[in-house]
């Protein structure tokens, strides 16, 4: 690996980072100052070994014989997750889900600032959700330029998801959070995170049936 190549972290590790972040936040709230990988493993239901492996992908945050300083580790992961900056965000599709996300204050607390909502429905255009206006999708590109939007949240229907993504990418957006039940395609340099709610519900349905069968045969 070359000197200025960034070490490739596996998706499995990345997906666990927000969870570490969440547990460390809880420990901070409880005024706990230090924790060992063994204790944390009990809390989180992971192996201590995995925790140490995961964290060592990013550096040695612990101290032999002591463990990890909760606050230090929390802020380190905060930084690793890119939460030391703020992001400008827009939501495309101001239906029920789009509006619900707009109303969620957790995101702005973490530095994801909602700058605008967009829709094609004239009945919605002009409405405000928590001081953020719903605008006509026709002016979306210009808004992205002038307001320097980083993240686009897709809350449209399945049919318009790819088209919306294409427009966002073309306008220079760097990350897409997709809630439409469709796998969209974006260029390699754009970050994409899918939240397929119905996939999740179908998984629940599968597991329920699996457990029902297990009960039947035991």
Task: Summarize as ranges the residues that interact with DNA (CB under 7 A).
Answer: 10-13, 36-38, 46-50, 52-53, 55-56, 60-68
Rounded Cα–Cα distance for residues 134 and 30 (Å): 40
Q: Which of 37, 99, 156, 164 binds its own copies (CB under 8 A)?
A: 99
**Using rule CB under 8 A, residue 128 touches its own copies:** no
Q: CB of 85: closest distance to its own copies in angstroms?
A: 9
Cα distances from 105 to residues 93, 113, 179, 194, in angstroms, run 18, 10, 18, 20
- Using the minimum distance from each CB to DNA, give the nearer residue, 2 or 60: 60
Cα distances from 209 to residues 105, 109, 197, in angstroms, run 36, 39, 19
Q: CB of 25: closest distance to DNA in angstroms?
A: 18
Q: CB of 46: closest distance to DNA in angstroms?
A: 6
Cα distances from 20 to residues 26, 63, 95, 97, 160, in angstroms, run 10, 18, 32, 27, 35
Q: Which does 138 bind (CB under 5 to 8 A by kind): DNA, its own copies, none?
A: none
- Using the minimum distance from each CB to DNA, give the nearer residue, 37 or 162: 37
Cα distances from 117 to residues 4, 78, 171, 182, 214, in angstroms, run 39, 27, 16, 21, 46
What contacts 24+ positions apart, CB below 8 Å, involve 41-44?
Answer: 44/19, 44/20
Q: Are 113 and 86 in contact (CB under 8 A)?
A: yes
With contacts defined by CB under 8 A, name the span among 3-11, 34-42, 47-55, 162-170 that binds its own copies.
3-11
Give the x-and-dash track for 151-180 against its own copies (CB under 8 A): x----------------------xxxx---
Q: Which of 1, 30, 146, 198 binds its own copies (CB under 8 A)?
A: 198
**Using rule CB under 8 A, residue 22 touches its own copies:** yes
Nearest to 93 by CA among 132, 149, 131, 134: 134
**Using rule CB under 8 A, residue 148 touches its own copies:** no
CA–chain centroid gap for 125, Å, is 27
Query: Contact positions toward its own copies, by CB under 8 A?
Result: 4-6, 9, 14-15, 17-19, 21-22, 44, 80-83, 87, 96-97, 99-101, 103-104, 106-107, 110, 112, 150-151, 174-177, 181-183, 189-193, 195-215, 217
């Amino acid at each position: 690996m070359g000197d200025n190549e960034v070490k490739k972290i596996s998706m499995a590790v990345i997906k666990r980072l927000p969870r570490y972040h969440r547990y460390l936040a809880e420990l901070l709230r409880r005024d706990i100052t230090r924790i060992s990988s063994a204790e944390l493993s009990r809390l989180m239901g992971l192996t201590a070994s995995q925790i140490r492996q995961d964290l060592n992908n990013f550096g040695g945050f612990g101290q032999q014989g002591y463990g990890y300083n909760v606050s230090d580790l929390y802020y380190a992961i905060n930084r690793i997750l890119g939460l030391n900056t703020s992001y400008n965000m827009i939501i495309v599709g101001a239906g029920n889900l789009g509006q619900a996300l707009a109303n969620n204050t957790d995101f702005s607390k973490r530095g994801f600032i909602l700058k605008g909502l967009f829709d094609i429905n004239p009945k919605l255009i002009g409405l405000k959700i928590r001081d953020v206006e719903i605008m006509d999708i026709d002016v979306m590109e210009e808004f992205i330029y002038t307001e320097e939007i980083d993240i686009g949240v897709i809350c449209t229907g399945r049919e318009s998801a790819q088209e919306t993504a294409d427009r966002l990418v073309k306008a220079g957006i760097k990350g897409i959070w997709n809630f439409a039940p469709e796998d969209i395609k974006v260029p390699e340099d754009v970050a994409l995170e899918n939240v397929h709610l119905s996939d999740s519900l179908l998984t629940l349905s599968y597991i329920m049936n699996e457990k029902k069968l297990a009960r039947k045969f035991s």
